[in-house]
Structure 1
Amino acid sequence: MSFNFDRRTFLKGAGAVGAASLLAACGEKSNNTGNGAAASGAAAPNSTGATPLKEFISFESGNRELESWNMLYTQKAEDANVVTNLWDGLLSFDRYGKVVPAIASSWEHNEDATVWTFHLRDDVDWVDCNGEVKAHLTSKDFLVGFEWVMNAIKNEANNTSMPNDTIVGAYEYYALTKEAGDAAADMTYEDMLAAGVGIEAPDDYTLVFTCPSACPYFDTVAAYNSFYPVAPALIEELGVDGFRSCDNTTMWYNGPYVVEEYIQGNTKSYIPNPNYYDAANVSRFERFTVTMISDGSISLQLYQNRELDEVDLGESNITTIQSDPSNEYNQQLCEKRAKKFSYCFIFNYDKKNTDGTPDENWNKAIANKAFRQCFSKGMVLNKFFARYNPINPLKCENDFFTMKGLCYTSDGTDYTNLVAREMGLDGEAYDGKTMKRLRANNGDITELKKQAMEELSAIGVTFPVHCSYYILAGSTSALDSATVLKQCFTDSFGDDFIVLDVNTFVSSTMKEVVAPKLQSFVHMGWGADFGDPINFLTQIIVHDDNAYYSCNMTNIAGIVNNGPASYQKDLVAAYEKFTDLVNEGRAIVDDTDARYAAFAKAEAYFLDENLIFPTVYDITWCLTHVNEYSKINAMYGPCNYKAVNWETSEEAYTTEQYDAFAAAFDAATQA
C-alpha cells in the first residue's frame, strides 16, 4: 500500500506543499532545473523484503523547537538535529559510529598526530532555499567558517572550546578579536592567518590543521560544528548580524535536503537538495517531515492514524500494550538504543526567587556537601526510570557525568569503567532489581540527612527545603513524569527534608527559567562533541568562559568570579580542585591511558562531591516503521538526526525483527 498527502491532516497542510510551492515560497522562480532523480529522492532498500517508505513523518517534543538555524552558532542539540539535514561539514559517521567522508573525501595525519590534512571533494555547491546553485564550495569556505567561529564579536564565543584546545593560535585569535571589540566584525580569515592560527588552505581542495600537541582523535573533533564551512558570499549578502540570525529562507544549503516549509512550533518539511554532491550514493526521502508534539498523550493516536511513522511510547502505553497479548501492537514493541546523552540534575547554585531576590534557603542548602550527597547516596529513581523504560527500567540507570561508549583505553576498557573503579562501583552490573550505586552505598542516608540538617540549621536554613523544577505548561506527559519524580523525592527523603515543587514555563526553558535563574535544577543531557572525556569535563570547570554548564546552568562561574559567600567557600574549593584535576589530565597528551586515568580521577571526585547528579540514560520503547540500527549512530557530533540511508518499511517492524537487528549490530561492533 502507499500513503499520500491525506495522511497529514494533523499537519495543517504543511506536508501537502509540493516542491513547486517551495520555489514560490522562497523566490520568484517557478520551476526547478536541478537533477530530477536527486530531487525525487530514493528510499533505502529493506533487509526484510518489505516495501520502503518514500516519505517519512517523524516527531519532536514541543519544548524542543529550534532557536537557531546557524550550525556555526548553535550549541543546542535541538538546533543541530534539524540543521544537520541541511548543512554538511568535513566528515560524517556511519551506523556503527565510524567516521566517514562527507565534504572531505580523505584525510591523514603526520606521525605524531599534530598535523592533519583533509582532501575536499571538488563537486560541492551551495544552494538557496529554492535549490538553485549560489556558489561553489572550496577550502576558503572552511577558512571563513573557522574565522567566524573564533571571532568573539561574530559568534559570541559559541563553539570555541574545541578549537581553543586543538588548533594552534585559536585561543589567541579569539582573545585578539575580543580585545578589538566592534572592530572585530570587519576582521577576515586573512587576519586570522596572519595571526598564526593553525589552519591553512594550500589549494582550493586541501585543508591543513595544526594542533599544539598530539591529537589522535582530531578527526572526531573536525566533524563538529566548529569546523563547518560557510559561503563568503552569503556573509557578504546578509552581513554579520544577518548571518548569525539566518533562517531557512536566508541560509544557503550544501546538505542532503532543503526546507520545503517551516511552521514554528508545528512542522518542518524537508525535500531533497536537487544539487546535492552525494546524491548518487545517498538514499533520501521524497519528503521528510518533523512534527512538533506539545502533548505526548496524542502521539500514539497520530501514529495509529499514520500521521507519524515512529512514536516513542510512554509508561502507560507500554504497560497497556504489553499486558494485552491481543493488542494489535503487542508484537511490535521495539526497544531502542540508548540516546547519546548523559542526563543529570544540573544544580543551580545561584537561584533567584520570581521577584529576582536570592533564594538563600536553596542556595545555602545546595552549597552543603552532605545535602548534595543525599542525592547520590539516597535518591531512588526506579519509578522515574520506568517513565522511560517500564519493561527494563534499571537499564536506564546512569552513574556518570560522561557517557558509556565515548572512548576506550588501549586494552578496550570503557572510560566509564575507570570512573566506576574510582567510585567503588566496579563490577556492579545491572541486576534488574536494585540500582547499583545504591547497592554500593546501601541506600541509607539517615546519618547523612541528619548531618545536613544540623549543619544547615546552624546557618539559618529552614526545612523542608523547596526544590523548584520547571516543566512545559500543558504537557500531560511532562506533568506525569514530574509527578513521578516528586514522588521519588518523597520516597527517598520524606517530606521533612527536601520537597519538589513543580512549576511551569510557556515555551522556552532557557529564556523563561534558566536566564532568570528560577530553577533549583534542570534535568538535562550532554552529548559528546568528540571522542575524548575533556569535551564533557570542560563544561563544568571554572575559569573558562566556554564552560556551558558552569556559565549558564549551575552559575558557579559567576560565584567564583564575583567572590563566594561564606557558606559557598567549600563549594568553590571543590570546583577549584576539580578544575585543577581536569587540567592535570588535559596536560597529558602523549599517553592516552594515563590521560583517561587522570580524567577518571577528576570525574570521580566531582561525582563524590555530587556537584552534579547523574540520573538516566534514555532507553525507550517505540512503535516504528524505521530500523534505527540503519541510522547514523555516532557518540559525538551533530549528524545522528541526518535522515539518509534509513531502512524503512510500510509495515511496522516487529519485536522479533528489532531483536534480530540488535543482535546483528552487536555482532558487527564486537567483531
Structure 2
Amino acid sequence: MSRRLGVILGFFFIHMVILSGCGSKLPDIENHVFEEAFKDDAQVFRTLYSSEVQDLHYLRTISAVDTAITANIVDALVDYDSKGNIIPGLAKSWESNDDATEWTFHLRNGIKWVDCEGEYYADVVADDFVTAAEYVNNAANGCDCQYMYSTGSVVLNAQEYYDYTSYLISPDSFSEAPKKVEASELGVIALDSKTLVYKLERPCTFFPSVLSYTSYLPICRKYLNEVGSMFARSNKNLLYNGAYILEYYQPHEKQILVKNPYYWDSDHVYIDRIENYYDTESVSIAPEQYMEGNIDKAVVSPDKLDEYMENPQIMDEIHHSRPDVSFTYFYAFNFAPNFDSKYQPENWSKAVVNSYFRKAIMASINKSEIMKIYEPYNPESLVNNTFTPQGVLSINEIDYTSMGGLEAIKERDSYNPILAKKYAKVARQDLSNEGVMFPVKVLMPYNPNVKGWQEEAYLIEKQIESTLGKDFIDINVQVGGDTGYLIGARRSGKYAFMKCRWGADYEDPQTWTEPFMDDGEYMFWHLTDNSNIMKIREEWNARIDEASRITSDIEKRMETFAQAEEIILKNTIVIPLSIMNGEGYVMSKLNDFEGEYAPYGMANQRYKNYKLHEDSMNIEEYEAEYKKWLVH
C-alpha cells in the first residue's frame, strides 16, 4: 500500500470509527456529552503534525509543541482580542494599587473544571492560582517557566522560596543556606473563592501581560492531591476549564480536541472538533493532503513554493502567514571568546572591541538577500533594523521604534559596501597598531537542525568576505556544538560571531533588554576589560536603571528604554537581522486575523474565535486582510 493511499484510507477509517479518549469502547453518541462535536454537520478542523508532545503537565513545560495543547484546554486570568489587546478571561475584572505592587483579580462565576469525559469536577476558584504558584516555585517540581515569577514582575518571595527549596534538594551546591521561606509566604493570596491577590516586590504596570504563561495557569488543589505524580500523564489525568477537552490522545497516532460543553465563553468557540494526525512526513505530504481535502491546513516548504506557485489550481490556495514580531533575530559579537586556539581567540578579542571593525561587518551584510532564503517574494517584510521589532510595543498610537532616536535606525538600510570598505580601512590601521593579525579569523557556528540556517551562514560568509576582502577577514562557518547548539555554542561562548534569537516575555520594553544583562549568556560584553566597551556598557546600564525606575509615566519609561537601545545599536554591539517568518507560506481554512493575538505568551495558539472557511485565502486576499489588521 502506498503512503498516500494509507493516509487517505486511514482518514476514512478514523471518521467511521472514533475511539473515545477516556476508554477503549466506542462512544455512545446519543447520550454522549460530546454529541454536538461528533454530529455529521460538526465543524471539524484537521491537521498533520510530526513533533510529538513531550509533557502535558502545563505547569512544567514551556515547549511550543506542548503549549499548543495547553492553550486550548486551560484558560488564564486574562485573554486577548484579535488585535493584541488584553481582555477579561477567567478574571472578569482587575485593579492594582497606586504603585502597581499589588494586583487584585475578580474571578467570574460559572467556571468549571471537568474531566476528559466532560464530567463536572469542581468550580475554578482563587486557590487554584495559589496552588499553581506553590507548585511552580517549588524547585522539586522542575518547572521550566518558573522564571516568569522572578523576571519582570517579581512576585513577592517567589525566587526566595525557589532558592530555599533548591537548597533542600542540594545543600552542597550552596555556599551558605538561604533564608527559610514557606509556600504560605508567597505573594499569591486567595482572599475568598473569587478574589485573588498578587503581591509584587516592585512596581509592575505590565503584570497582566505575564498571566497567560503556563506557570500562571490554575490547577485544582484537591485534584492534584488525589492524582499526585500521575497528573497529566495522559489526557485522563487532567482537568479542563478551557474551550476544548483533549478527548482522545495517543502519542504518534492522533489527538482529538472537542468543544467543552461547559465552557464559560462557548459562544465564541465555533470549531466543534480539532483532529491532529501524526505523520513523520507531514511537512512533505501536507500540501498534497490539503489539496485532496483530507486536512484543512498545510505549511508549504520553501523548496516547493516556486513549483506550487506555477500551478494555477494550487497557487490560489497559498498565502503568507502573519510575520511574527514576538522574536527578533540578530547577529551577536562575542566580547569574551572561549573557543579553540586555532581560531585565534586572543586576536578576535582585540579586533571585536574596535567599533570600525564591527561597523564594517554590519555594512557588509545584505539583509534582504538573506531573507530571500525564507521569504522569496517579499524578503523586505522580514528585515528588522532595531533590536525590538516594529509593531510589538506602542503607546498613544506611537510605536516604540519611533522613540528615543530609534526612528532613523529602523528606516535605514545598514548594507553599504562602499562605507563598509571605508570602515575596514580605518579598522585595519587601528588594529595593526594594536598588534592584530590579518585576516581576522571569525568562528561562526550555525544550527543544522534549523531549516535554511546553513545556507544563510555561507551566504553571510560570502557577503562579508567579498566586501571586506579575504586578506582582512576569514569567516569560519562551522556546525555548532557537539552537545546541543545552545550549550555547545552560544552559552559556552564558543563563537566569535553568530545568529541569535530573543523573544518577548511580557508587554514592556524591559523584556528586550535581558540578553544584554550580565546573566544573558549572549555577547558576554560584561566580561571584557576593554575601556571603550566598558564605557558603552556603563552608559547603557545607567539608562536602563533610569528607565526601570519610571513606573507611573509609561510613555517616558518607553522613551528612556528606547534611548538605551539606541546606545546598543549606534555602537554596533549587535546587528539586528529580522523578525520571524511565522509559518511561512500556508494553505489554511482559518483566517489568521480572527483568532487571538499577542506577541508573547500562548494566545496565538488558541482556536477560540476561529471559524472554519470553505477554502484558503490567496496572496492578494491575505495582504488585503493583513493591511486592515495593521490598523489597530
TM-score band by shorter chain is 0.7 to 0.9
Structure 1 residues 469 and 642, CA gap change in structure 2 (3 angstroms): same
Name the CA distance, whole Å, in 1 between partners of 2:206 and 2:546. Answer: 19
Aligned partners of 2:574 and 2:13: how far apart in 1? 41
User: Counterpart of 2:313 in structure 1: which amino acid?
Assistant: E
Alpha-carbon contact 2:318-2:619 (below 8 Å) kept: yes
- Counterpart position of 1:98: 85
How do residues 155-174 of structure 1 correspond to structure 2 at under 5 angstroms?
Answer: 155=142, 158-161=145-148, 163=150, 165-166=152-153, 169-170=156-157, 173-174=160-161
User: Structure 1, residues 456-515: CA drift from partner, whole Å, max 9, x if none?
Assistant: 882567644231112218x6x555555555544455555452425252789964466656
Q: What is the distance in 1 between the residues matched to 2:118 and 2:490?
A: 38
Match in the other structure for 1:415: 400
Cα deviation, 1:172-197, whole Å, max 9, x if unaligned, reads 6447626753399xx9x99344x3x4
* Structure 1 residue 662 corresponds to structure 2 residue 626: yes
Tell whether the 8 Å contact from 2:442 to 2:496 is kept in structure 1 after alignment. Answer: no
2:423 equivalent in structure 1: 448
- Helix, strand or coil at the partner of 1:71: coil
Query: Residues 4-27 of structure 1: CA distance to partner in whole angstroms, max 9, x if unpaired?
Result: x979459999977965342237xx
Q: Is the 8 A contact 2:49 2:282 kept in 1?
A: no
Q: Deviations over 1:551-609 (max 9, x none)?
A: 4xx273xx85xxx465x675566445433432221111121122111101111112233
Quote the offset at 1:38 in angstroms. 6.0
Q: Secondary structure at the match of 1:647?
A: coil
Contact 2:446 2:454 (8 Å CA) reproduced: no
Q: How does 1:45-60 map to 2 (within 5 A)?
A: 54-57=44-47
Distance in 1 between the 2:78 and 2:198 partners? 14
Q: Is residue 328 from structure 1 mapped to residue 313 from structure 2 by the alignment?
A: yes
CA, structure 1 residues 172+633, in 2 after alignment: closer, same or farther (shift >3 Å)? closer
Cα distance in 2, alignment partners of residues 314 and 20 from structure 1: 33
Q: What is the SS of the residue equivalent to 1:445?
A: helix
Cα distance change on mapping 1:491 and 1:357 into 2, 3 Å: closer
Q: Does 1:653 align with 2:617?
A: yes
Alignment match of 2:503 (pick from 524, 527, 547): 527
Is structure 2 residue 631 aligned with structure 1 residue 644? Answer: no
| Pair 1:207-2:196 in alignment | yes
In structure 2, do the counterparts of structure 1 residues 256 and 423 end up closer, same or farther at CA, with 3 Å as the change threshold?
closer
2:182 corresponding residue in structure 1: 191
Provide, for residues 202-238 of structure 1, a one-character-per-residue CA deviation record: whole Å limited to 9, x for no partner: 1111112344565443322333334222222454356
What residue is the counterpart of 2:174 in the other structure?
Answer: none
Alignment counterpart, residue 266 of structure 2, candidates 260, 279, 283 = 279
| Counterpart-to-counterpart distance in 1, 2:17 and 2:381 | 43
Given that 1:67 and 1:79 are in contact with CA atoms closer than 8 Å, whether structure 2 keeps it comes out as yes
Aligned mate of 2:435, from 446, 453, 458? 458
Find out whether 1:425 has 2:409 as its counterpart: yes
1:137 aligns with 2:136: no
Distance change (3 Å), C-alpha of 1:145 and 1:520: farther
Distance between the aligned counterparts of 1:351 and 1:66, measured in 2? 36
Q: Is the 8 Å Cα contact of residues 380 and 492 (structure 1) preserved in structure 2?
A: no
Equivalent residue in structure 1 for 2:214, among 225, 229, 248: 225
| Residue 35 (1) aligns with residue 28 (2) | no
Structure 1 residues not aligned, in runs of 5+: 44-51, 429-435, 545-549
Specify the code of the residue in structure 2 equivalent to 1:378. S
Equivalent residue, structure 2, for 1:591: 553
Separation (CA, whole Å) in 2 of partners of 1:359 and 1:41: 66
**What is the root-mean-square deviation of aligned Cα atoms in Å?**
4.5
Change in 2 beyond 3 A, CA 1:347/1:615: same
Change beyond 3 A, Cα 1:128–1:633:
same
2:388 aligns with: 402
The 2-side partners of 1:417 and 1:94 are apart by 25
Cα 1:424/1:12, change in 2 over 3 Å: same
Of 368, 377, 389, the residue aligned with 2:363 is 377
Partner of 2:175: none
8 A contact 2:11–2:294 mirrored in 1: no
How far did residue 292 of structure 1 move?
6.9
Structure-2 separation of matches of 1:342 and 1:41: 44
Moved more, 628-637 or 9-18: 9-18
Instruction: Report the Cα distance in structure 2 between the residues aligned to 1:614 and 1:321, rounded to whole angstroms.
Output: 32
Q: Deviations over 1:347-398 (max 9, x none)?
A: 5566666999996666666565444434433311222212232222212110
In the superposition, relative to structure 1, how do residues 396 and 449 fare at CA in structure 2: closer, same or farther (>3 Å)? same
* 169 and 438 in structure 1: CA distance in 2 versus 1, 3 angstrom threshold: same
Q: Which residue of 1 aligns with 2:111?
A: 124
In the alignment, which residue of structure 1 is the partner of 2:477?
501
Cα pair 1:344 1:401 within 8 Å, conserved: yes
What secondary structure does 1:160 align onto? helix
Q: Secondary structure at the match of 1:626?
A: coil
For residue 344 of structure 1, what is the aligned residue in structure 2? 330
Q: Partners of 1:16 and 1:573 in 2: how far apart?
A: 66
Contact preservation (8 Å) 1:113, 1:216: yes
Match of 2:249 in 1: 261
Q: Report the alpha carbon displacement of residue 414 of structure 1 after superposing the two structures with TM.
A: 0.5
For 2:133 and 2:77, the matched residues in 1 are separated by 12
Counterpart-to-counterpart distance in 2, 1:211 and 1:294? 47
Superposition deviation, residue 320 in structure 1: 4.3
Q: Given the superposition, is the C-alpha separation of residues 517 and 133 from structure 1 closer, same or farther in structure 2, using an over 3 Å criterion?
A: farther
Deviates more, 1:117-126 or 1:129-138: 129-138
Bigger drift between 633-642 and 278-287 goes to 278-287
Give the 3-state SS of the residue equivalent to 1:200 in structure 2.
strand
Match of 2:22 in 1: 23
SS in 2 for 1:530: coil
CA 627–597 in structure 1, closer or farther in 2 if over 3 Å, else same: same
1:84 maps to 2:71: yes
Equivalent in the alignment of 1:150:
137
Instruction: Say whether the 8 Å CA contact 2:442–2:497 is kept in structure 1.
Output: no
Q: 2:516 and 2:544 mapped to 1: Cα distance?
A: 10
CA change 1:302–1:17 in 2 (3 A) is same
| 1:344/1:616 contact within 8 Å kept | yes
Paired residue for 2:414?
438
8 Å Cα contact 1:403/1:416 also seen in 2: yes
Query: What's the TM-score once normalised by structure 2's chain length?
Result: 0.80
Amino acid of the structure 1 residue aligned with 2:399? D
Output the CA distance in 1 between the equivalents of 2:86 and 2:302.
35
Q: Of the candidates 570, 575, 580, which is equivalent to residue 613 of structure 1?
A: 575
Q: Answer whether contact 1:95 1:629 (CA < 8 A) is retained.
A: yes
Question: 1:217–1:463: structure 2 CA closer, same or farther, 3 Å change rule?
Answer: closer
Deviation at 1:313, TM superposition (A): 3.9
SS in 2 for 1:614: strand
Normalised by the size of structure 1, how large is the TM-score?
0.76
- Confirm whether residue 603 of structure 1 aligns to residue 565 of structure 2: yes
Identical-residue share of aligned pairs (%): 22
Per the alignment, in what secondary structure is the counterpart of residue 166 of structure 1?
coil
Preserved CA contact (<8 Å) 1:149 1:160: no
Q: What secondary structure, in the 3-state scheme, does the structure 2 residue paired with 1:24 have?
A: coil
* SS at 1:425 equivalent: helix
Q: Give 1:114 shift.
A: 4.6
Preserved contact between residue 150 and residue 170 of structure 1 (Cα < 8 Å): no
Asked if the contact 2:101–2:203 (Cα under 8 Å) also holds between the matched residues in 1, the reply is: yes
2:193 maps to amino acid:
D
